[in-house]
Amino acid sequence: MRMSCVLTFRSTKHHWITNFSRPCFHGSIGLFVPPSPPLDPQKVKELQRFITLSKKLLVMTGAGVSTESGIPDYRSEKVGLYARTDRRPIQHVDFVRSAPIRQRYWARNFVGWPQFSSHQPNPAHWALSNWEKLGKLYWLVTQNVDALHTKAGSQRLTELHGCMHRVLCLGCGQQTPRGLLQERFRALNPSWSAQAQGVAPDGDVFLSDEQVQSFQVPSCVRCGGPLKPDVVFFGDTVNPDKVDFVHRRVQEADSLLVVGSSLQVYSGYRFILTAREKKLPIAILNIGPTRSDDLACLKLNSRCGELLPLIDAQ
C-alpha cells in the first residue's frame, strides 16, 4: 500500500497556515491499522467472560489503540513506520547532547503539532473510559504519549512514557504546556516555511536538512536551558518512582488486559512478568503476535475500536 502525505507550513503576514493533503488523513481510521480477520463471535464471548470475572482489572494500552485515531505506530506489519520507511525514532542521548539534533526535532515537531494535537479518541478510548466510570477498570497504564485517554475522560491513568502535550526544561525541570511553545515558535520564525513528506508517530513529520537549518528554537524562559517534550525517548528510562507505582497497581489487580501493544519494549513488558509472577489471568487484544502471547490465557487479533465497545462492563 502506498502512503503519501504532504503537509505545507507557511507564514502569512498575520498568521500561520497549515495545509494537509486529503489523501493523508481522509479515511485515516484504516490508514495505519494493519489487516485483521473478521471478529470471531466465540472470541468475543471469551473476552466478555474474562471482563465479567474481573473485579480489579488493570489495562495496558499501546500504539495499536491509537492507530484508529489516525496516529501511526512503529511496528505494525506493512503500515508501521519501520515497514514504510528506513527512518528510526530519535535517541535520548542524541537529543540531549546535540543542539542541531534538537533543532531538527523541534522544526519537524512544530510542523506536525497542529495535526497531532487535533487527533481525537476513538471507540476504544471511550470504551475504556466508560469501564472506569462503571467501576470495572481499576487502573489504566498507557505507553502512548498522545493524551487520547485523557481526552476521553480517563482519570485512573498512568502515562508510562509521558505526554507530548507537556514540555520539560532539561536545565531546571520546569513543565509548560506544549501549546504555549507553539506560540513561541511562531514568534521566532515569522517567515519560515516548510513542506513535509510523510508523518511519523509522536507528532513528528519528515523535513529536509535544508528546511531545518534556518529554524529558530526557543530556550526555557526561566533558566535558558534546552527544552524537551515531557516523554521518554528511545534509549532513556522510565522514572523509577513511576515504575514502582505501576508495579503496585499490578499487585493490587486481579487480572490484566493488554490492548494494542506488541510488548516489544521492556518498559511495558516487565509488568506482564509481574502479572505472571502473581499468577494473574492475562488477555491480549492486538493485531499480530506479541512478546507475551505464550503467557496469555486469551489472545485476540482484532481492531481495538471494533471489539471493546461490544463488551458489557457492568
- Active-site residues, by number, are 161
Q: 279 a known binding residue?
A: no
Q: Which triple of cell numbers denotes residue 6? A: 504532504
Q: 229 a known binding residue?
A: no
Amino acid at 24: C
Q: Virtual CA dihedral for 192, 226, 210, 214, nearest 10 degrees? A: 40
Q: 224 a known binding residue?
A: no
Q: 5 a known binding residue?
A: no
Q: 223 a known binding residue?
A: yes
How many CA atoms lie within 13 Å of 108's alpha carbon, on the beta-carbon side?
23
Say how far apart CA 183 and CA 123 lie, in whole Å. 32
Helix residue ranges, H only, 206-265:
209-212, 240-252
Q: 94 a known binding residue?
A: no
Strands of the chain, DSSP E: 6-11, 16-20, 57-61, 137-142, 157-159, 162-169, 175-177, 194-197, 199-200, 204-205, 227-231, 255-259, 282-285, 298-300
Q: 67 a known binding residue?
A: yes
Q: 296 a known binding residue?
A: no
Q: 79 a known binding residue?
A: yes
- Annotated binding-site residue numbers for NAD(+): 62-82, 143-146, 260-262, 286-288, 304
- Annotated binding-site residue numbers: 62-82, 143-146, 169, 172, 220, 223, 260-262, 286-288, 304
- Annotated binding-site residue numbers for Zn(2+): 169, 172, 220, 223
